[in-house]
Amino acid sequence: MKFGIRKRSFKKSFSAMTTGRLKRAVKRQVLPFYGKKGAGWIKNPKKALYNAVYHRVTIKSPLPYLGSDNKKVTRRSNMAFSTYIETADNDNVAESIATSYKALTVGSGNFEQLKQDLTEVYDNRLKLKKELSKSKIIYYLTYLFNSKDKRQAKKDIIEKLSNAVEHAYIDLNFEVKLKDAHLWMECCETFEEVMKSDKIWDLTSRKDTNRYRERTIASESVDRKIVVARDHKSLEFIKSDVDNIYIPNVNGPDIYIFPAFIVLFKNYKQFSIHDIQQVNISVTATGFHEEDGVSGDATVVGQTYKYTNKNGTPDKRFANNYTIPVVRYGDLRLDSDGGINDRYLFSNFDKFTEFSKALTKFVQVNLKVSVQK
């Protein structure tokens, strides 16, 4: 038995600080006496007796250590939505429903308010989903170690949290502020047709070519990936009186375009909002040297060679200098100072042209900004 000043264990202090709240909650369900006062006398009476005497004949070490008992209590008591797991009859769930729902008429002058409200709803929904996942884990464990009444109490919590998640959204009204809402609907309809192109590529990188060294007339070379998943999607935390344009992103967050803003979102891990008037949108035609096969809906506008002279004629110094078809694709680019930098190619140029006209007209009438063509 030791006497006097206790020896501080930094390893044990750090372990106590980093033990997750979910881990403790699971242990409480698996081990009936975990965290209960007096459980040590049942589990190991000899050690419990030793500790009881030890804490009476020694004093706390004056040395600094990691964390404190008071800090641990404060951290747990301030944990957002912590009472959802602890009790069944909780009124905070109903309060979160009232504060989650927001209605807003969207115009060109209230983007900052929109961004703030969207971020608030997004953060609240994220917290609710995390608490819902934890509650479901604890509910499944009640089948092993809890009574039927406690199991029903946990089930009630899950139902309240599920209802809270469903009501954590923002309701946006665009038609009141748009001069011609029909033009936006035309943009959405024509883009849906563009998404039916035989091939759609997401350009992941590009670089300028050295025409002299590479013996080509192409101005740039790109890396591209085929977009496979094309089903239309909407954001579950945004309800709107108009539809949105959805563009899947192969190497980053997906793009959701609304009449007044653009949202980048993927799996509640990547999320940002951008004013559409601060985003450069370019809809152009591009001649692509296609070596991977021409799709059925693409338009071939010419041909070139693997190795060419400056004037486009074949370089006869190369024996296997085969011809390459030049195909006209629709080229959509979005970039901004806020971090948007995406580019897509669409094989069906005719459908892309219709979308280009619809988008240009909508922007000119409703936003009074130009679209690069």
pLDDT tens digit sequence for 348-368: 999 999 999 999 999 888 875
227 with 206, same domain: the answer is yes
Half-sphere exposure of 226 (CA within 13 A, CB side): 7
Q: Given CA atoms 47, 49, 55, 57 in this order, what sign does their dihedral have? A: negative
User: What pLDDT, on a 0 to 100 scale, did the predictor assign at position 110?
Assistant: 57
Cβ pair 135, 84 in contact under 8 A: yes
330 with 191, same domain: the answer is yes
* Res. 328 pLDDT band, cuts 50 70 90: very high
Cβ pair 256, 334 in contact under 8 A: no
Query: Comparing 192 with 98, which gets the higher pLDDT?
Result: 192
Quote the CA–CA distance of 335 and 355 in Å, as a whole number. 19
88 with 191, same domain: the answer is no
89 with 73, same domain: the answer is no
Residue 373 domain flag: no
Highest mean pLDDT among 43-47, 208-212, 328-332: 328-332
234 with 363, same domain: the answer is yes
- The residue out of 54, 77, 100 marking a domain boundary is 77
- The residue out of 124, 151, 173 marking a domain boundary is 173
* Res. 119 pLDDT band, cuts 50 70 90: confident
160 with 217, same domain: the answer is no
- From the list 226, 261, 231, the residue with the least C-alpha distance to 246 is 231
310 with 238, same domain: the answer is yes
Task: Tell me the CA end-to-end span of the chain in Å, nearest whole number.
Answer: 84
193 with 219, same domain: the answer is yes
The string of DSSP letters for 179-235 reads S-HHHHHHHHHHHHHHTTSS-EEEEEEEEE--HHHHT---SEEEEEEE---------
* pTM score of the predicted model: 0.64
3-state SS of 4-47 is EECCCCHHHHHHHHHCCHHHHHHHHHHCCCCCCCCHHHHHCHHH
* pLDDT above 50 for 205: yes
User: What pLDDT, on a 0 to 100 scale, did the predictor assign at position 97?
Assistant: 27
72 with 90, same domain: the answer is no
Q: How many domains does the chain have?
A: 3
* pLDDT above 70 for 237: yes
* pLDDT above 70 for 282: yes
Residue 25 domain flag: yes
User: What pLDDT, on a 0 to 100 scale, did the predictor assign at position 269?
Assistant: 66
Within 8 A by CB and 6+ apart from 109, the residues are: none
- The residue out of 141, 173, 205 marking a domain boundary is 173
Length of the chain: 373
Residue 372 domain flag: no
* Res. 86 pLDDT band, cuts 50 70 90: very low
And the tokens for 362? Answer: 């909508």
User: What pLDDT, on a 0 to 100 scale, did the predictor assign at position 368?
Assistant: 56
And the tokens for 223? Answer: 């890396």
139 with 16, same domain: the answer is no
Quote the CA–CA distance of 357 and 344 in Å, as a whole number. 17
User: What pLDDT, on a 0 to 100 scale, did the predictor assign at position 2?
Assistant: 63
User: What pLDDT, on a 0 to 100 scale, did the predictor assign at position 1?
Assistant: 54
DSSP letter, residue 169: -
Residue 37 domain flag: yes
Residue 236 domain flag: yes
Give me the phi and psi of 240, to 5 degrees please: -135, 155
337 with 217, same domain: the answer is yes
Of 31-35, 254-258, 315-319, the poorest mean pLDDT is in 31-35
Alpha helices in 36-82 (DSSP H): 39-43, 45-57, 69-77
> Which range marks the domain in which residue 46 is found?
4-77
202 with 336, same domain: the answer is yes
Residue 58 domain flag: yes
SS3 label, residue 241? coil
84-118: b or e for each residue (b if 16 or more CB lie within 10 Å)? bbeeeebeebeebbeebeeeeebbbeebeebeebb
Residue 287 domain flag: yes
